[in-house]
Amino acid sequence: MRSIPLSMQFLLFLGLQLALSVGLVFYLNALADSNYQTIQRASAGFVESSKTIESLRKAFAQTSADIEQVVNTLRPGERIDVRTQVVNLQQLAAAVRTDVALDNLRTAAYSQINQLSQSIDHQAQLLINAAAKTATAGPAEVRDLQNKLRIERNRIMVDDFSGLISAANSNLEDTMQMLRGSTASVSQQYRTLLILFIILQIGLMITALLYFNHQIKQLADITDRLIDGEATAALPQQKRHDQIGRLARSVQHFRTTLITLSDSREQLKAILKKHDHETLHRRKAEKQLTLAASVFDNVQEAVLLTDIAGHVIRANQAALDLLKSTEKQLASKPLLQHLLTGSEKVVEPLWTQVLEHGRWQGEVQFKPDSYSPPITALISIKLVGEAREGRGHVIIVLNDHTEIRNREAEMIFLAQQDLVTGLYNRHYFSLQGQTRITDRPTEIFGLILIGLDNFKAVNDALGHRDGDRVLVEIGRRLAKLLNTQDVLSRVGGDEFAFYFSPRNGEDLEISTKEKAEEVLSIIRQPIQIDGYNITLKASAGMSLYPNDEDNIEDLLKTNDIALHMAKTRGGNQLYIRGTQAQNQARRRFVLQQALDKALGNRELRLVYQPQVSLASGEIVGFEVLMRWRHGGEWISPNEFIPLAEENDLIIHFTEWAFTESCKRMREWQRQTDRQFILSINIPPRLLLVDKIDQRLDAIARKEGLPLSSITLEITESSFGSDPGMMSGQLHQLAMRGFTIAIDDFGTGYSSLAYLSTLPISKIKIDKTFVDNIYNNRESYKLLGSILAMAQTLEFDVVIEGVEHSNQLLLLKKLDVRLDVQGFVFEPPQNEDFWEGMFINNKVPTYPVPEIMSTKSLKPSASS
């Protein structure tokens, strides 16, 4: 097979098929032919013998008629000549015995033929006898002879001939029966052969198919493996001499070529890669060098490079400006000795620390020369390379914090103050209380909260200016009642509070109560303003440390409720903490339980408050805020967020809010084609979660919101527990691309110098700093100074809680780049509200005031 060409193999196969078919046709034909001839023969024989029998019968009938005629003329005593008839009869009998036409019947109808010939012979004998007798016979005898002949003749006609005919018929039937059987067997054979033939054909076809298929598949498999790169695949068909063999050899050749080709391609690739890598490396290094040089020259920070002993080798322009020296002057002695004149003793240990630990950071104060004011700077020292055998370098970076420190001092002073009365404000007051409890936990005291009854009416009647004067007078009267250690504060618009310490041995409750009553009575004394006598009434609440609560926050809360109770009972009275405080505690407990299920019960909702550009009135972004609807009541986030923050619940809440709001913001961005910023509140606890940056990043990525559109709002209080960890997390978050904003800026007491080391780019100035800018010049000045500082640190600024349009104009005058978030534009609204707005791509623009002339812009003066 292997040497016969493929086409010949096909022809051979076809030939075999043809031969088989022809053989079968011939065989079947012969079978049918022989059958046909047998039938032919049988029917011809039958016709011949039937004809002969019929002619014999006719001849016998004719002879019998002749005999009858002769016999009828018989007369007694007369002689008759019957020789002709007898001869005829004898010839007939002989014909029956010998006629060849009856040969085919001779075996099957032997007795019938015999019987017929004997009967005819017998008739002939009878005739002879009759002829012989007539001469002597009487008439009766003649009649008897005549009858005998007639009867015999009839018997022969009826019995013997019929017997022969029916024997012939039955012989034919037998033959036919036999033939039918043989025809059936022929057709049976025919069918069997045909089936066998078809099976054989199919078998042959399948064999051929499998054979060729196997050969081609083997080749295809190997070609596939070859394409897959399997170089060792062997081709057994190569040895064949047919076309498959040729194909195999071609594939083999192709394979060898391919292997060679791919080898050389790999080599080429490796060479190219190496070349690319080297070029890239060199370019990168060059670029980095240029970049480093340009960074060194252009950064705002003062950067100096010193040798291992601290002598300046190079200083950038910012450093020379800050230190008011030339490089040469600086090189005269170690840099730290320039900076720390007067405290040389610390220089050496400090430097040793740098050499040992590789870095040092701290704040220093120095005077560049005797005429300049002192400069406060954050100094960061870092050793480059290893300090060995006098080699190695040190980089020193100086950040000028002078401005920040000055502002800070100013702010701290201002932040503690109530600008109207000069008393402490609420923040400072609670801070003081907290410190007092922490420092002297065993020292008992009472907390008294006083609220002026119906002060609004006074304000409305006299105007804010005189209203403020009333407040100042009340403050003055209260201050006179107090001992030196009792801190007095104006904690709200018309509310004052102070800590009261009883004298030694006095009962705390009784003496606090007496003090509160005294306060109410001195407030009731008339106040003289511009010749008017004003009489005010007040209500008070009181609570005791440690009897009622063990912390200021709760003492204040208890008092808030007590004051509220006093007012709802008509005012002008004192309400002593009582069941209200306990109710509060109970409510806290109940809410805390319910809060666990709030997310699962779908009780939490999100609302979005826009942040609006003061320059254009356009929405730049949204802060997402949480709402809790529980038992038919909307519970303020100020109440439930602190509860959630007590455990990990706040983490689930925040992740939920983050996911939902990212999704929503992405939708709105698509819908409106605007790059809205999403601001979200990040609780301190979340910043303690491991890899929180990855988690938030993954969520934002999943929802398709770019990190550049996300601002994370954190409060300064976040840094309380673990500043190092928080700072690390914030850097991670900022590095990923999140914007970090300080929320409620100004209400905490973080050092600005510290904040400036964090990756913060935005601050949100608390509502309390803008509430009074329209009425109070000091407030306005304070805000101005905060904004100036934000500018120095290059923070973006959002002003929160702006409620009146008259505040807007003043804000715009301070800085048009501000963004504003407040009821003046829009309170927080749910997504249905915003989606309704965005139908047909319509994004609302809010009216913002235009700055016309500078004169009318001054805030109205007070006090």
Interface residues with ligand C2E (CB under 6 A)? Answer: 609, 625-626, 636-638, 641, 654, 657, 681, 683, 743-744, 800-803, 821-823, 828
How far is the C-alpha of 608 from the C-alpha of 679, rounded, in Å? Answer: 9
By beta-carbon proximity to ligand C2E, the closer residue of 154 and 636 is 636
Q: Which does 104 bind (CB under 5 to 8 A by kind): Ca ion, ligand C2E, none?
A: none
Q: How far apart are CB 625 and ligand C2E at their closest, in Å?
A: 4
Q: Which does 418 bind (CB under 5 to 8 A by kind): Ca ion, ligand C2E, none?
A: none
**Residue tagged 């805030």 (tokens):** 859
By beta-carbon proximity to ligand C2E, the closer residue of 54 and 639 is 639
Crossing angle of helices 161-227 and 110-134, in 10° steps, is 170
Strand order in the sheet with 445-452: 488-492, 495-500, 445-452, 538-545, 574-576
How far is the C-alpha of 843 from the C-alpha of 620, rounded, in Å? Answer: 11
Point out which span in 4-12, 175-183, 222-230, 705-713 binds Ca ion (CB under 5 A). 705-713
How far is the C-alpha of 304 from the C-alpha of 320, rounded, in Å? Answer: 9
How far is the C-alpha of 452 from the C-alpha of 538, rounded, in Å? Answer: 4
What character string, x for contact with Ca ion (CB under 5 A) and - otherwise, covers 788-817? ------------x-----------------
Q: Which two tokens stand for residue 299?
A: 């950064």
Crossing angle of helices 455-462 and 464-481, in 10° steps, is 130
By beta-carbon proximity to ligand C2E, the closer residue of 330 and 415 is 415
Q: Which does 334 bind (CB under 5 to 8 A by kind): Ca ion, ligand C2E, none?
A: none
How far is the C-alpha of 312 from the C-alpha of 304, rounded, in Å? Answer: 7
Q: How far apart are CB 680 and ligand C2E at their closest, in Å?
A: 7
Q: Which does 803 bind (CB under 5 to 8 A by kind): ligand C2E, Ca ion, none?
A: ligand C2E
Position 716 contacts Ca ion (CB under 5 A): no
By beta-carbon proximity to Ca ion, the closer residue of 494 and 800 is 800
Q: How far apart are CB 623 and Ca ion at their closest, in Å?
A: 6
Q: Which two tokens stand for residue 806?
A: 């008259």
Q: How far apart are CB 824 and ligand C2E at their closest, in Å?
A: 6
Taking each continuous run of H as one helix and of E as one strand, the counts in the chain are 25, 21
Q: How far apart are CB 827 and ligand C2E at their closest, in Å?
A: 6
Element (H, E) at 807: helix 805-814
SS3 711: strand
Task: Give the one residue of 489, 559, 681, 711 binding Ca ion; rule: CB under 5 A.
Answer: 681
The sign of the dihedral angle between the CA atoms of 330, 336, 339, 342 is negative
**Closest listed residue to residue 591, CA positions, set 651, 655, 634:** 634
Q: Which does 637 bind (CB under 5 to 8 A by kind): ligand C2E, Ca ion, none?
A: ligand C2E
Q: How far apart are CB 378 and Ca ion at their closest, in Å?
A: 28
E-strand ranges in 117-173 read: none
8 A C-beta contact, residue 105 and residue 172: no
Q: How far apart are CB 576 and ligand C2E at their closest, in Å?
A: 30
Long-range interactions of 201-206: CB distance < 8 A, separation 24+: 201/17, 201/20, 204/13, 204/16, 204/17
Task: Give the one residue of 242, 400, 560, 744 binding Ca ion; rule: CB under 5 A.
Answer: 744
Element (H, E) at 540: strand 538-545
By beta-carbon proximity to ligand C2E, the closer residue of 88 and 661 is 661
By beta-carbon proximity to ligand C2E, the closer residue of 611 and 709 is 611
E-strand ranges in 418-537 read: 445-452, 488-492, 495-500, 527-529, 532-534
8 A C-beta contact, residue 7 and residue 242: no
To the nearest 10°, the Cα dihedral for 33, 38, 42, 48? 60
Q: How far apart are CB 714 and Ca ion at their closest, in Å?
A: 9
Q: How far apart are CB 826 and ligand C2E at their closest, in Å?
A: 9
Count of residues near Ca ion by CB under 5 A = 5
Q: How far apart are CB 738 and ligand C2E at their closest, in Å?
A: 16
Q: What is the DSSP-derived secondary structure letter of residue 333?
A: S
Task: Give the one residue of 743, 762, 774, 824 binding Ca ion; rule: CB under 5 A.
Answer: 743
Q: Which does 609 bind (CB under 5 to 8 A by kind): ligand C2E, Ca ion, none?
A: ligand C2E
* Residue ranges binding Ca ion (CB under 5 A): 681, 713, 743-744, 800
